[in-house]
Amino acid sequence: MSDKFIQTGPELNNQFQSDLILKDFLESNIPSHILGKFLPHLNQVGGDASGKLNSWAFEARSQPPVHVPFSPWGERIDEIKTSQGWKNLEAYAAENGIVAAAYEKSFGEYSRIYQAALLYLFHPSSAIFSCPLAMTDGAARAIELYGDQTLKSRAYKFLTSRDPKVFWTSGQWMTEQTGGSDVSGTATTARHVGGTNYELTGTKWFTSATTSQMAMTLARIEGDDEGSRGLSLFYLELRDSNGKLNQIEIHRLKDKLGTCALPTAELSLNGTRATLVGGKGDGVKKISSLFNITRVYNSICALGQMRRGLALLEDFSEKRIVFGKKLSQQPLHQKTMFDLQTEFAGNFVLIFELAKLLGLDECNKSTNDEKLLLRLLTPLAKSYSAKAAINVSSEVVEGFGGAGYCEDVGIAWLLRDSQVLSIWEGTTNVLSLDALRAIEKDDALKAYLSTVQKKIKGLGISSKPLESQWQMLKEYLDTFKKLSPENVQANARELAFKLTEFFVALLLLEQSQKIPAFAAYYEGWLKLKKMDQ
């Protein structure tokens, strides 16, 4: 038997050091006295991402969580056992302040950019520990906005701690058996027991990271109106100080396509003690402060996912010999890689623009247009980057050929874990409709248009294709306005993608003036998105 088909697998080097796009971008967009303070940390996390974090993630994926409903003596305990790798990832995330960085605000309005870079480096080596972190950050934000003093001095302190012994994660329990997109049918009821205290009864069909210490959830206070406006926002703790569950029964863990290290459970609330947050009603609106943060996380993680796939494929392309030369020397492979890099670079500038806007907003430094643009770019970036991550991951798996399809090679998880990005936190269609909501209700399109005008004016050069795309976009928007309400909805995804692709082109051109390497991505983006005609 021949032993000739022996190949060298891909290797990862320091994921910060080797990331020219990230490094160039930060150097050109962050004042040097601030950047100098956080670069060493990014360098450290980049090194860990290719070392110990990756090993923990591998361990967490290969030892998925297990639900233990009963003790050996028949007591209902509903424990969820997770691997040591998963636990290590949690401790690392706390110590490195992946959530805390946003609340400490050590770098003022640049704190969210710093945090985005940290998360982007951490996520692909985290076995999706980024999911509990996303919900934790979102819960901290919701408590910051709506929590009373008790919640602020209790939960908030734990969610934003860097001490792994003190750090808490949070769940976000919105999904019931009626489905995830439309929460108006939420059937969980809340019975008032005094003050802001309630007891919740109902079933939550998807609860991510059910090992969290607390959760934010929606329920309808007895007697309140039907529909989504009759829902209220609640805070609950899963276990008491003895570790006993708070009248919660965990039915089973979900058997999912990906995110296998992440415990996702179905559970019932059987009189679970909970605290009303921010007063009665408007629960969806209040919890949107949480899910707008998780949507930003989703975008950053989609970007991290793309970058990891490309780093692995790039390295492999230098090793794989095919048709007499390295894969990296094959013209069609080079073109494919460039297109994938371009997709990545386009999403990169979009998502770091989003992080910039979020940081400005949270430091009360944003203009009204910047606030509205943040509102619009959040669903646009989430939906666009999730699709891009699926596409890039699929191409990366294909780039490895049959090896990419084999579990032990360790590439397939990229594709599996990308697929969820376009589902949770709102599907592509739900987010396209959310973009429409931002346009129709908050007049966010006005902010988009005036930002584009301002950016075009600020460019030192003119670009014929960009100008003609701008003209075409304005004509498209004029036609869109005249559509019937039904057709407006039917075309919401097309609108969302057109707004995103044009905005990305503009951002790439803007960056190319500071970073010469981006000029090729700008040209590449126009071609890839057929915007060069």
Q: Is 115 in the site for ligand MFK (CB under 6 A)?
A: no
Q: How far is the CB of 215 from ligand MFK (least distance, A)?
A: 10
> Nearer Cβ to ligand MFK, position 353 or 425?
425
Q: How far is residue 143 from each of residues 160, 238, 350, 361, measured CA to CA in Å?
A: 11, 17, 28, 16
Kindly compute the dihedral angle of the four CA atoms of residues 21, 418, 170, 355, in this order, to the nearest 10 degrees. Answer: 30
CB 200 within 8 A of CB 272: yes
Q: How far is the CB of 294 from ligand MFK (least distance, A)?
A: 4
Q: How far is residue 138 from each of residues 179, 231, 293, 360, 499, measured CA to CA in Å?
A: 21, 19, 5, 17, 26
> Nearer Cβ to ligand MFK, position 97 or 399?
97
Size of the site for ligand MFK (CB under 6 A): 31
**Measured on CA atoms in the order 188, 189, 193, 197, is the torsion positive or negative?**
positive
CB 141 within 8 A of CB 361: no
Q: How far is the CB of 284 from ligand MFK (least distance, A)?
A: 4
Q: How far is the CB of 418 from ligand MFK (least distance, A)?
A: 10
With CB under 6 A as the contact rule, which of the stretches 44-52, 73-81, 126-134, 507-515 interacts with ligand MFK? 126-134
R_g (Cα) of the chain, nearest Å: 23
Q: Is 377 in the site for ligand MFK (CB under 6 A)?
A: no
Q: In this chain, which of 298, 341, 366, 385 binds ligand MFK, going by CB under 6 A?
A: 298
Q: In this chain, which of 91, 253, 409, 430 binds ligand MFK, going by CB under 6 A?
A: 430
How many CA atoms, within 13 angstroms, populate the side-chain half-sphere of residue 137? Answer: 30
Q: How far apart are CA 530 and CA 11, in angstroms?
A: 34
Q: Is 291 in the site for ligand MFK (CB under 6 A)?
A: yes
Q: How far is the CB of 119 from ligand MFK (least distance, A)?
A: 9
With CB under 6 A as the contact rule, which of the stretches 3-11, 58-66, 364-372, 418-426 interacts with ligand MFK? 418-426
Q: Is 344 in the site for ligand MFK (CB under 6 A)?
A: no
Q: Is 18 in the site for ligand MFK (CB under 6 A)?
A: no
Q: In this chain, which of 216, 221, 284, 466 binds ligand MFK, going by CB under 6 A?
A: 284
Q: How far is the CB of 172 from ligand MFK (least distance, A)?
A: 5
> Nearer Cβ to ligand MFK, position 158 or 291?
291
CA angle, 331 as apex, 330 and 334 as ends, to 5°? Answer: 85
Q: In this chain, which of 93, 245, 301, 414 binds ligand MFK, going by CB under 6 A?
A: 301
Q: How far is the CB of 306 from ligand MFK (least distance, A)?
A: 13
With CB under 6 A as the contact rule, which of the stretches 148-156, 171-179, 247-255, 320-328 interacts with ligand MFK? 171-179
- Exposure letters 402-435 (e unless 16+ CB within 10 A, then b): ebbeeeebbbbbbbbbbbbbbebbbebebbbbbb
Q: In this chain, which of 65, 124, 426, 524 binds ligand MFK, going by CB under 6 A?
A: 426
Q: How far apart are CA 277 and CA 146, in angstroms?
A: 6
Q: Give the CA diameter of the chain.
A: 77
Q: Is 184 in the site for ligand MFK (CB under 6 A)?
A: yes
Q: Is 134 in the site for ligand MFK (CB under 6 A)?
A: yes
Q: How far is the CB of 102 from ligand MFK (least distance, A)?
A: 15
- The pattern of x and - marking residues 224 through 263 that bind ligand MFK according to CB under 6 A reads ----x-----------------------------------
Q: Is 390 in the site for ligand MFK (CB under 6 A)?
A: no
Q: How far is the CB of 430 from ligand MFK (least distance, A)?
A: 5
Q: In this chain, which of 67, 192, 280, 285 binds ligand MFK, going by CB under 6 A?
A: 285
- With helix as H, strand as E and coil as C, how does 134-163 read? HHHHHHHHHHHHHCCHHHHHCHHHHHCCCC
Q: How far is residue 435 from each of residues 444, 476, 500, measured CA to CA in Å?
A: 9, 16, 11
Q: Is 297 in the site for ligand MFK (CB under 6 A)?
A: yes
Q: Is 415 in the site for ligand MFK (CB under 6 A)?
A: no
- Exposure letters 277-312 (e unless 16+ CB within 10 A, then b): bbeebbbbebbbbbbbbbbbbbbbbbbbbbbbbbbb
Q: In this chain, which of 28, 55, 181, 468 binds ligand MFK, going by CB under 6 A?
A: 181
Count CB-CB contacts under 10 A for residue 2: 5
Q: What residue is closest to ligand MFK based on CB?
A: 228
* DSSP structure class, residue 8: P
Q: Is 130 in the site for ligand MFK (CB under 6 A)?
A: yes
> Nearer Cβ to ligand MFK, position 174 or 350?
174
Q: How far apart are CA 346 and CA 421, in angstroms?
A: 18
CB 297 within 8 A of CB 134: yes
Class of residue 133 by CB neighbours under 10 A (exposed 0-12, middle 13-18, buried 19+): buried
With CB under 6 A as the contact rule, which of the stretches 107-115, 155-163, 175-183, 382-390 interacts with ligand MFK? 175-183
Please, what is the end-to-end C-alpha distance for the chain in angstroms?
55
Tokens of 276: 């009303």
Q: Is 437 in the site for ligand MFK (CB under 6 A)?
A: yes
CB 421 within 8 A of CB 305: yes
Contacting positions for ligand MFK (CB under 6 A):
128, 130-131, 134-135, 172, 174-175, 180-181, 183-184, 208, 228, 282, 284-285, 288, 291-292, 294, 297-298, 301, 424-426, 430, 434, 437, 441
